[in-house]
C-alpha cells in the first residue's frame, strides 16, 4: 500500500510517501533538513505560507520516493486538530490530487499520527505490541494519555486541562528571557542546572487519582520564582530551567504511573510520540518508568518523526486503509477540534 | 573547486574568494556551513542556487560579535540578554532586520537570524572580510547533515559542485546538533495599541483563586447574556502570562453551558467550543505578529454572525477589535498579579 500524505495542521507544510509503515520520503518545509524552525513560528502567516509551499513540498516528496504519483494507491491528509485555515490548504491539495489522478482519499487525525509514529520504519513493532496498550502524545498543542484498545480504537485516559506540556516549557523559557518557542533551548540549559536548587510545586501532587494534566499553577509559581530571583545570571537560568523541566516531567510521570498501577489490565507497551518526546531527559524518565513497571516503551525511530511530519500521517492512513476507512472527495472536511 | 586545510592560510583564501562573490564551505562548532558575502546580491543568488530550495526561505548570517550584529538587526532586551549569556555559541537569534543584507537573506516578514559561531576560523574570516557571511548548512535542502566533506560532495550533483569555489577541510566534525533557533521578535513592545482604551464604567474585583476568576466571568456573562444573538459579544482579555486568562474563559464557557474542556489556545491560535446551539470562539493573539492578522482568522465574520468570542492577549490586536466598537459589545478585562500567589486584581468595563 503506497500512500502520499499531507499535513498542514500548524506551522509546517509536510508531505510524505510511505509504503505500509515504511517511509519512502518525508519532506517538511520550515524545518528543511536542518535549521529548526526558521521563520516557521509565524502561525498567522500559516495559510499563505502553506499555499506557497504545498506544491513544492508534495512534488519533492514524490520525487524523493522515486515513485510516480500514478503508482500510488491512496492520498491521505490531516483533517484536524489544528488551525482551521491551515488545514484547509492541505485538504484542498489532497482533494485536487485525488480527483486528478482518481485516487482514494483517507482523512487522518493528526493526534493518531503522533500516537502511531513509533510504528514508522519499525515493521516488527506492528506485530510486537500487545493490545490493549497505552499511548502518550506530548507536543506543543497536546498532552494526552491514551488507551489503545487496538489500532483505531482509542479512549482518552488523561489530558491537559490548560496548557500542553510543550506549551508550558515554551512559556517558561520565555519567562526566562529565552525567546519563543524556547522549549528546546530550555532543555539545553537544564542540562547544566540543578533541578533541586529551587522548590516548585508539582501539580496536583498526591491527587494523581484525578487523572488530569495541568500546568497553569506551576507556570504561575515559576513566574513568581523568576521575579524573586531577578536579576538572572547564567547560573540561575540553568537552575531555573532544570527545576521547571523537572517538575513538569515529574507531574506527567506521576499521573501516568498512577494510571498504570491502577489499570484493570496488565500494560505491556507504551507508544510515545509528539515533539516534546524528543527531549532526552523525558525519554530517560519514561524508559525508567517502563523498566519499573515492566513495560516496553516505544519511541519514534528518528528525530524527524517526533515533531509534526506527514510520514506519521501515512502510517496512520495505512491502518485506516486496511480497515477500508476511505472518504469521498466531496465529503472530506476540516475538523479543527478533532478528537481521537 | 579548491580544497584547503583549516588554518591561517584558509582564512586569507576564504576572504579573497568571498570578496569576489564566491561560495565557501567552512567548518563550525556544529556542522559544515556554506558561506557567501551576505550583502552581495549576486553571491546570495549563487547560494540559493546551491541550496536548491525555493525563494522565500531565509538564511541566517554569521557575524563576529554583537557590535557587528547591531549593524544588521535591532536587538531588543530579550535578544541582548541572550547575546550576553549565550553567544558565541550554537544559537541562532532572530531579530528585526535593518534590511542591509542582500535580497533573499532575511525572511519575508523582515526578520533576520544571527549566529556568532564559537569557532575562531569563522569569526576570523568575518572579521577580516568586515561583512557577515551566510551561515546555513552546507548540504543541499532535504539532504543529510554534513559532518565531513564527503557527506556534502556525495549528496550533490555536478552542477552544484561547480558552484563551490573553496572548501575548508577540518576533517570529521564531532556530531553536534545544529544550532537552536530562537525568535525574539515576539517580545517586542506592542506598538499596535491606539491610545488608552476608554471604558464607560470600570469595575474592579479582587480574586483569590482560580474559582473566583471563573465566577467573575460567570457574573459578567450573566449581565450581557441578554444581548446574545443581537450583537457579537467579545471578551478582550489582557494580562501577563499566568494571570488566568484561560481560567476566565473556562468560567465563561461554563456559564454559557458549554461542557467541553477549555484549554489554552496559544498553540492552535483559535479554539471553538460547541454545545448544541451554544458556541464560543476562543482566540490567542500572543503569537500574532500584526494586529490585522486577526482578520485572517475570520474575526470580522464572527462579529457579523453575532458570535461570542474570548480573546487572550487582546492588547496585541486592539486595533482590529476596536474597529467593531459600534457593532459589537466589547468587554475589556484586565488581570494583574496580586501580592500573594493566588491573588489577582481584575478590572473590566465596556468601551464607550
pLDDT band at B213 (very low <50, low <70, confident <90, very high): very high
Q: Is-contact B100 B73, C-beta < 8 A?
A: no
Residue B195 has pLDDT above 50, yes or no: no
The pLDDT of residue B182? 80
pLDDT band at B54 (very low <50, low <70, confident <90, very high): low
Is the omega angle on the peptide bond into residue A231 within 30 degrees of 0, that is, cis? yes
Q: Give contacts of B242 with chain A, Cβ < 8 Å.
A: 171, 216, 219-220, 222-223
Q: Distance of alpha carbon B34 from its chain centroid, rounded?
A: 25
pLDDT band at B111 (very low <50, low <70, confident <90, very high): confident
Residue A335 has pLDDT above 60, yes or no: yes
User: Cell 444573538 identifies what position?
Assistant: B229
pLDDT band at A35 (very low <50, low <70, confident <90, very high): very low
pLDDT digits (tens, 9 = 90+) for B89-105: 888 888 999 999 999 89
Give B177 or A105, the one with higher predicted confidence.
A105
Residue A89 has pLDDT above 70, yes or no: yes
pLDDT band at B7 (very low <50, low <70, confident <90, very high): confident
Contact between chains at B297 and A44 (C-beta distance less than 8 A): yes
Report which DSSP code applies to A326: -
Q: CA separation (Å) from A56 to A90, A112, B339?
A: 13, 26, 54
Q: CA separation (Å) from B281 to A106, A141, B307?
A: 28, 17, 8
CATH code assigned to B203-350:
3.40.50.300
Angle ∠(B227,B232,B235) on CA atoms, nearest 5: 95
Smallest CA–CA distance, residue A292 to chain B, in Å, is 31
pTM: 0.81
Sort strands A269-273 and B111-115 into parallel, antiparallel or unpaired: unpaired
In the predicted model, what is the mean pLDDT of residues B133-152?
A: 86
Query: Which runs of E-coded beta strand occur in A193-328?
Result: 269-273, 296-298
pLDDT digits (tens, 9 = 90+) for B263-292: 998 887 888 898 888 999 999 988 776 777
How many residue pairs bridge chain A and chain B with CB atoms within 8 Å of each other?
Answer: 171
The pLDDT of residue B199? 66
ipTM over 0.90: no
Share of chain B above pLDDT 90, in %: 59
Interchain contact B288–A (C-beta under 8 A):
yes
Q: CA separation (Å) from B153 to A249, B25, B160?
A: 42, 11, 9
Measured between CB atoms, which of B142, B186, B267 is closest to A141?
A: B267
Q: Minimal CA–CA distance to B56: which of A303, A115, A126, A30?
A: A30
Name the helix (H) or strand (E) containing A133: strand A133-138
Residue B35 has pLDDT above 80, yes or no: yes
The pLDDT of residue A38? 33
The pLDDT of residue A44? 52
Q: Minimal CA–CA distance to B330: which of B351, B299, B301?
A: B351
**How many CB atoms are closer than 10 A to CB B215?**
16
Share of chain A above pLDDT 90, in %: 79
Residue B27 has pLDDT above 50, yes or no: yes
Q: Give contacts of B299 with chain A, Cβ < 8 Å.
A: none
Q: CA separation (Å) from B57 to A13, B29, B30, B216?
A: 13, 23, 21, 46
CA distance A181 to A167: 8
CA distance B157 to B239: 54
Q: Which region among A103-117, A134-148, B183-197 has the lowest average model confidence (pLDDT)? A: B183-197
The pLDDT of residue B190? 42
Q: Is-contact B292 B313, C-beta < 8 A?
A: no
Q: Give contacts of B141 with chain A, Cβ < 8 Å.
A: 32-33
pLDDT band at B187 (very low <50, low <70, confident <90, very high): low
The pLDDT of residue A41? 40
The pLDDT of residue A12? 83
Q: Minimal CA–CA distance to B146: which of B178, B181, B124?
A: B178
CA distance B22 to A175: 42
Interchain contact B95–A (C-beta under 8 A):
no
Q: Is-contact B143 B122, C-beta < 8 A?
A: no
In the predicted model, what is the mean pLDDT of residues A29-52?
A: 53
What are the residue ranges spanned by the domains of chain B?
A: 2-187, 203-350
In the predicted model, what is the mean pLDDT of residues B58-85?
A: 92
**β-bridge partners, B4:** B168
CA distance A81 to B287: 18
Phi, psi (degrees; rounded to nearest 5) at A239: -70, -40
Q: At what angle do helices B210-224 and B245-256 cross, to 10 degrees?
A: 50
Q: Is A325 helix (H, G, I), strand (E, B) or coil?
A: coil
**How many CB atoms are closer than 10 A to CB A104?**
18
Q: Is-contact B336 B344, C-beta < 8 A?
A: yes
Q: Is A15 helix (H, G, I), strand (E, B) or coil?
A: strand
Contacts of A254 (CB under 8 A, 6+ apart): A202, A205, A208
SS3 sequence of A64-127? HHCCCHHHCCEEEEEEECCCHHHHHHHHHHHHHHHHHHCCEEEEEEHHHHHHCHHHCCCHHHHH
CA distance A10 to B56: 18
Smallest CA–CA distance, residue B76 to chain A, in Å, is 11
Q: Is-contact B303 B328, C-beta < 8 A?
A: yes
Contact between chains at B93 and A179 (C-beta distance less than 8 A): yes
Q: Give contacts of B296 with chain A, Cβ < 8 Å.
A: 44, 47, 85
The CATH superfamily label for domain B2-187 reads DHBP synthase (3.90.870.10)
Q: Which region among A36-50, A127-141, A291-305, B42-56 has the lowest average model confidence (pLDDT)? A: A36-50
Question: Which domains are delineated in chain A?
Answer: 2-116+304-322 (3.30.420.40), 131-300 (3.30.420.40)
Q: Give contacts of A167 with chain B, Cβ < 8 Å.
A: 264, 266-267
The pLDDT of residue A143? 96
Amino acid at each position: 500500500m503506497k500512500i502520499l500524505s499531507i499535513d498542514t495542521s500548524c506551522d509546517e507544510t509536510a508531505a510524505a510517501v510511505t509504503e505500509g509503515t515504511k517511509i519512502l520520503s518525508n519532506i517538511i518545509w520550515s524545518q528543511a533538513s536542518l535549521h529548526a524552525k526558521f521563520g516557521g513560528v509565524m502561525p498567522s502567516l500559516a495559510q499563505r505560507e502553506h499555499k506557497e509551499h504545498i506544491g513544492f513540498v508534495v512534488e519533492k516528496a514524490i520525487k524523493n520516493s522515486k515513485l510516480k504519483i500514478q503508482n500510488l494507491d491512496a492520498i491521505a491528509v490531516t483533517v484536524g486538530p489544528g488551525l482551521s485555515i491551515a488545514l484547509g490548504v492541505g485538504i484542498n491539495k489532497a482533494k485536487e490530487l485525488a480527483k486528478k489522478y482518481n485516487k482514494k482519499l483517507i482523512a487522518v487525525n493528526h493526534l493518531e499520527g503522533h500516537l502511531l509514529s513509533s510504528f514508522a520504519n519499525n515493521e516488527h513493532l506492528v506485530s510486537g505490541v500487545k493490545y490493549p496498550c497505552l499511548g502518550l502524545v506530548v507536543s506543543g498543542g497536546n498532552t494526552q494519555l491514551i488507551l489503545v484498545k487496538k489500532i483505531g480504537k482509542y479512549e482518552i485516559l488523561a489530558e491537559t486541562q490548560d496548557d500542553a506540556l510543550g506549551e508550558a516549557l515554551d512559556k517558561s523559557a520565555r519567562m526566562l528571557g529565552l525567546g519563543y518557542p524556547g522549549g528546546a533551548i530550555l532543555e539545553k540549559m537544564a542540562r547544566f542546572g540543578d533541578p533541586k536548587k529551587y522548590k516548585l510545586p508539582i501539580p496536583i501532587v498526591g491527587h494523581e487519582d484525578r487523572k488530569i494534566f495541568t500546568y497553569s499553577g506551576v507556570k504561575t509559581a515559576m513566574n513568581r520564582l523568576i521575579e524573586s530571583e531577578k536579576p538572572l545570571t547564567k547560573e540561575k537560568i540553568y537552575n531555573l530551567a532544570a527545576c521547571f523541566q523537572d517538575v513538569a516531567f515529574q507531574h506527567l510521570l506521576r499521573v501516568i504511573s498512577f494510571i498504570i498501577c491502577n489499570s484493570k489490565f496488565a500494560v505491556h507497551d507504551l507508544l510515545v510520540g509528539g515533539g516534546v518526546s524528543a527531549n532526552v531527559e523525558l525519554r530517560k524518565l519514561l524508559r525508567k518508568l517502563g523498566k519499573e513497571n515492566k513495560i516496553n516503551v516505544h519511541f519514534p525511530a528518528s528525530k524527524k518523526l517526533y515533531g509534526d511530519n506527514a510520514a506519521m500521517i501515512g502510517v496512520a492512513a495505512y491502518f485506516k486503509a486496511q480497515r477500508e476507512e476511505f472518504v469521498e472527495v466531496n465529503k472530506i472536511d476540516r475538523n479543527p477540534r478533532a478528537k481521537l | 573547486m579548491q580544497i584547503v586545510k583549516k588554518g591561517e592560510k584558509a582564512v586569507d583564501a576564504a576572504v579573497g574568494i568571498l570578496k569576489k562573490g564566491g561560495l565557501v564551505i567552512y567548518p563550525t562548532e556544529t556542522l559544515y556551513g556554506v558561506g557567501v558575502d551576505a550583502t552581495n546580491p549576486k553571491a546570495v543568488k549563487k547560494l540559493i542556487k546551491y541550496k536548491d530550495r525555493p525563494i522565500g526561505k531565509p538564511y541566517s548570517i554569521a557575524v563576529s560579535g554583537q557590535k557587528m550584529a547591531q549593524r544588521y538587526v535591532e536587538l531588543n532586551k530579550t535578544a541582548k540578554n541572550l547575546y550576553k549569556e549565550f553567544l558565541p555559541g550554537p544559537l541562532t537569534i532572530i531579530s528585526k532586520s535593518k534590511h542591509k543584507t542582500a535580497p533573499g537573506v532575511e525572511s519575508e516578514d523582515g526578520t533576520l537570524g544571527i549566529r556568532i559561531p564559537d569557532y575562531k576560523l569563522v569569526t576570523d574570516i568575518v572579521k577580516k572580510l568586515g561583512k557577515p557571511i551566510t551561515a546555513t548548512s552546507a548540504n543541499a535542502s532535504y539532504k543529510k547533515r554534513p559532518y565531513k566533506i564527503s557527506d556534502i560532495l556525495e549528496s550533490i550533483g555536478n552542477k552544484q559542485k561547480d558552484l563551490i569555489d573553496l572548501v575548508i577541510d577540518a576533517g570529521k566534525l564531532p556530531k553536534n546538533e545544529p544550532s537552536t533557533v530562537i525568535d525574539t521578535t515576539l517580545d517586542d513592545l506592542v506598538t499596535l495599541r491606539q491610545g488608552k482604551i476608554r471604558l464607560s464604567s470600570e469595575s474592579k474585583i479582587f480574586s483569590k483563586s482560580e474559582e473566583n476568576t471563573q465566577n467573575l466571568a460567570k457574573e459578567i456573562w450573566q449581565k450581557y447574556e441578554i444581548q446574545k444573538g443581537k450583537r457579537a459579544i467579545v471578551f478582550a482579555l489582557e494580562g501577563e502570562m499566568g494571570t488566568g486568562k484561560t481560567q476566565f474563559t473556562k468560567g465563561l464557557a461554563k456559564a454559557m453551558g458549554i461542557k467541553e474542556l477549555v484549554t489554552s489556545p496559544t498553540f492552535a491560535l483559535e479554539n471553538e467550543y460547541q454545545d448544541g446551539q451554544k458556541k464560543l470562539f476562543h482566540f490567542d493573539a500572543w503569537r500574532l505578529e500584526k494586529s490585522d492578522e486577526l482578520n485572517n482568522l475570520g474575526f470580522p465574520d464572527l462579529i457579523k454572525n453575532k458570535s461570542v468570542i474570548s480573546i487572550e492577549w487582546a492588547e496585541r490586536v486592539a486595533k482590529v477589535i476596536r474597529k467593531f466598537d459600534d457593532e459589537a459589545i466589547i468587554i475589556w478585562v484586565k488581570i494583574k498579579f496580586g501580592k500573594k500567589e493566588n491573588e489577582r486584581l481584575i478590572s473590566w468595563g465596556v468601551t464607550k
